[in-house]
Amino acid sequence: MALQEEFEIQGNILFRYRGVLPLIPLITGAVVYVQTIYFPEMFLLRNTKYEIYFEMSCLLVSLIGLFIRIYTVGYTPKNTSGRNIKGQLADTLNTNGIYSTVRHPLYLGNFFMWLGPALLTGQFWFIIAFILFYWVYYERIMFAEEQFLRKKFGETYLNWASNIPAFLPKLKYFKPNEINFSWKKILKKEKNGFLALFTIFTVFNVTAELIKNERNFNWFLIGAFVFSLFSYIVIKILVKFTKILNEDNR
């Protein structure tokens, strides 16, 4: 089988399970993080007054990724960008807004969201390993997605893709969005990421304190986790039993 077809098949498989497979580096990172608690000499900032600032900096990196996702999804119409789990889906080709600067903004957002926990380990070798894993993993997914778009939109896609970089944005190409931002769509589509982000950071923080037999919890993280969990439950109820968050073509 030619590499082009092989990459496309691999990409479609990875696309289908892209919500589960990233758990591999996450679990590995959690193990590495716990090791630095038992052996604090592995991480220079462990048990210092600067550790909390480092932790919040890692959270900021993940929040940047979440912001990129929110900005992207909030300006896209129905059946384009989002958490499709069954396969590739695109009723229209997004070429304005953030899509006028980069072809895969959602995967760029995902990168920063997962980079935060990777940085939290404080281990340079693991951060590099994570970046390499992400590169190989999402390269296949992006290849399969572009094959799908190329077949569906033909020259329209090729003309757009020829000028727009795949992963590193070029802001000079920015074109304004043609539709309004939808907070309703964000609440429905990005509640999972919001909850997952604060769950991960809270679990890491609480685990560290319990292992050290201390109680210097990061109450900001705990409060954010409780808020995100409450918001997730409320939104799930609203989506299931009401039409408050429904919008035409969103």
pLDDT at 83: 46
Distance of CA 15 to the CA centre of its chain: 14
Band (pLDDT 50/70/90 cuts) for residue 78 is confident
Is residue 1 predicted with pLDDT exceeding 70? no
Is residue 137 predicted with pLDDT exceeding 70? yes
Give the separation between CA 195 and CA 236, rounded to whole angstroms: 12
Q: Which of 43, 63, 67, 70 is nearest to 117 (CA)?
A: 63
Give the separation between CA 187 and CA 47, rounded to whole angstroms: 37
pLDDT at 21: 79
Domain ranges of the chain: 3-241
Band (pLDDT 50/70/90 cuts) for residue 248 is confident
Distance of CA 157 to the CA centre of its chain: 24
Mean pLDDT (the chain) is 89
pLDDT at 79: 67
Identify the CATH class of 3-241.
mainly alpha
Give the separation between CA 121 and CA 67, rounded to whole angstroms: 23
Cβ neighbors of 72 (< 8 A, separation 6 or more) are 81, 97, 98, 99, 105, 106, 109
pLDDT at 144: 87
Crossing angle (nearest 10°) for helices 23-38 and 105-120: 20
**215 vs 199: which has the higher pLDDT:** 199
Q: Average pLDDT in the 28-35 region?
A: 94
Is residue 89 predicted with pLDDT exceeding 90? no
Which pLDDT tens digit goes with each residue over 200-243? 999 999 999 999 898 889 999 999 999 999 999 999 999 999 99
Is residue 2 predicted with pLDDT exceeding 80? no
Is residue 165 predicted with pLDDT exceeding 90? yes
Beta strands in the chain (DSSP E): none
Contact 100, 76 (CB under 8 A): no
Helix (H, G, I), strand (E, B), or coil: what is residue 39?
coil
Is residue 9 predicted with pLDDT exceeding 90? no
